[in-house]
């Protein structure tokens, strides 16, 4: 039970399904950022510092994914040994 001293947490419908589904979030991000629907590579790798992505971009091996609808990361496409990858980074300008 939620104590009355925490009004922001009381009177909530915790068993109700969320309205923040991945589909809704992506749809709204695409709408707000004017990004057309499309696909991203099936295999994606996170590069938290962006060092690997920066190297791939600087050497012409990666390019931004035109369909990535995130506000806090960028996704870059690259291929290695015939396999397409997505490389996500937080810290790129």
Q: Where do the domains of the chain lie?
A: 38-89
**C-alpha dihedral over 81, 63, 58, 56, to 10 degrees?**
-30
pLDDT at 54 over 80: yes
- Rounded-to-5 percentages of helix, strand, coil across the chain: 20, 25, 55
Its pTM stands at: 0.71
Mean pLDDT of the chain: 88
What is the predicted pLDDT for the residue at 1?
A: 55
- Ramachandran class of 21: left when φ > 0, alpha when ψ lies in -120 to 50, beta otherwise: beta
Identify the pLDDT of residue 3: 58
- Distance separating alpha carbons of residues 74 and 46, to the nearest angstrom: 10
pLDDT at 14: 84
């Amino acid at each position: 039970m939620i104590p009355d001293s925490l009004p922001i947490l009381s009177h909530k419908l915790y068993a109700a399904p969320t309205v923040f589904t991945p589909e809704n979030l992506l749809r709204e991000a695409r709408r707000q950022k004017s990004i057309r629907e499309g696909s991203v590579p099936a295999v994606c790798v996170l590069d938290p510092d962006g060092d690997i992505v920066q190297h791939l971009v600087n050497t012409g091996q990666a390019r931004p994914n035109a369909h990535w609808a995130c506000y806090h990361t960028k996704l870059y496409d690259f291929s290695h040994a015939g396999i397409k990858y997505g490389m996500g980074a937080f810290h790129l300008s």
